[in-house]
């Protein structure tokens, strides 16, 4: 499936959707962890904030790379990256559920 926006073709828009969902979940988790850090001032909470920050950087770089170098992700590599993004989304959803419990 292809999606064209402003004369720019996105070959696999599902990857874009998963990437945006991952970024939104990370920002949500990061805000929860930041509030916890401000309240308790523990090293663990600060570690969670930093972990989320680096995970956010990772996902932003992935999205930038995907949008800039789409030909690099063709074929088999696309399927692998799709599974990586999907498994990350599932992991983040579980982490969000556990964090809110």
Per-residue pLDDT, 71: 63
Give domain limits for the chain.
Answer: 3-100
Instruction: Give 23-79 pLDDT, tens digit per residue.
Output: 999 999 999 999 999 999 999 999 999 999 999 999 999 888 887 776 655 566 667
Per-residue pLDDT, 64: 87
Start-end of H helices in the chain: 13-40, 43-68, 76-100
Q: What's the pTM value of the predicted model, to 2 decimals?
A: 0.84
Band the pLDDT of 101: cuts 50, 70, 90. confident
For 8-33, what is the mean pLDDT?
Answer: 87
Burial zone of 41 (CB within 10 Å; 0-12 exposed, 13-18 middle, 19+ buried): exposed
């Amino acid at each position: 499936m292809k999606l064209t926006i402003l004369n720019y073709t996105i070959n696999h828009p599902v990857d874009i959707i998963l990437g945006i969902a991952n970024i939104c979940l990370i920002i949500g988790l990061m805000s929860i962890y930041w509030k916890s850090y401000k309240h308790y001032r523990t090293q663990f909470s600060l570690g969670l904030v930093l972990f989320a920050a680096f995970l956010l950087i990772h996902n932003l770089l992935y999205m930038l790379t995907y949008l800039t170098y789409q030909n690099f992700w063709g074929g088999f590599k696309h399927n692998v990256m799709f599974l990586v993004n999907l498994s990350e989304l599932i992991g983040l959803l579980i982490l969000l559920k556990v964090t809110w419990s």
